[in-house]
Structure 1
């Protein structure tokens, strides 16, 4: 078995507040799942359309103390294990550390197992947990029962600033947290990891300067976004289409990226929530 997936993020909130959000069923229904039931130390369950294979609760609680949850999660016939630990940095600073077994990049690229969504699923979930405890609006969750991939987010920044951060390689790499190179013209390349490290980059199909871009990602479809400004804010409409099978891992990754894009523009003292694992 491969090494567990690990993620670490920082929330500007107390351990008590983060633990409450993590273990109170009513709060879980806000930032994580459509349905949730918690009865520590015996039960920790979440399910519904925003949960992979969420037709019913598939979790079994193994351990719970003042700072740690560990539970199994049956996904695609495999009993995976999730552990979430809270580490106090200060009165209003908490590190959220998550480990998840039974994830591999092969499942992401092949789509052979729903477990391929686990990295981006937990990235979006943690981003929403952080925004929830910091009192900020949440990013839309992935509906794993739908084949429609279209969302809107409002960013408290003017369209020209948002457009630059979506088309300038340095700015996009900064908020996305991973090297990105973009040629912002029709026929240009869009390369996750950079041109030298990506032998098969996406292709820019259409571009309206200052407003919209459409990028062809091959088998996982075409991604389009459009900006609309009003009263100093920007509505970003985001669509992924043209795929054979819903690319839930990729779609959820885009949504988790949009969560950080919003923070990038809206927080004067912005720094990434993500820490080295």
Structure 2
């Protein structure tokens, strides 16, 4: 059963503690506009790209930048740790340019930050409660983020426009707003976020579509497609499959079929991020 599933907001970050003792599980994790860092205190997770099954990582404390495709996360039944959601600008300050170089892959936290990250995991495990763990992590992250490289002003503006418009702003408008060439915009934006502006826009449009359907804000997938910046329902469905490896109907079917006692579905409270998948036979 879940234990300690608590969110605490500190600065622009969210912390979620979890302690789960379930049967072996599989989850489909959706690309979002936040970077998730896991400080794992139990067995490793196996992460597999939902579209390219050759891309696999086993890690107790995985880090992924902004992703283009969904992730299948598998665990053996016992999970404990803290999940931290970071604004991508903070993630860039924490990890530096290497985060933009992951190219839709993941990394193990100690591989990115070295011995301090391993020491952080050990200290987190020793703390008696979630509040103490959150405070420890916040002190560690704040010290490093405060010293890290900032996004160029043009990247910050372009990211804000993408967020403000739900991913529908055109590349032409971003070029006009930044004063950069198309090549320079894509290069600098990718260095900062790991995605090209067009790819980031697609992630944001998909997130908006998921949220609209979850809230019942639209009556049909055709209406959802129109509201969220897709040409039509076929465009939304094709984009969904190319990103998630399943249709929108299948995704929400997995969410509806999850047992009430299963681990919490969404790792970020105000976004649709996950579905519990059936076990492979």
TM-score norm. by structure 1 comes to: 0.25
Pick 1 or 2: higher relative contact order, CA cutoff 8 A, min separation 6. Answer: 2
Q: Which is helix-richer, 1 or 2?
A: 2
Q: Which is strand-richer, 1 or 2?
A: 1
TM-score norm. by structure 2 comes to: 0.25
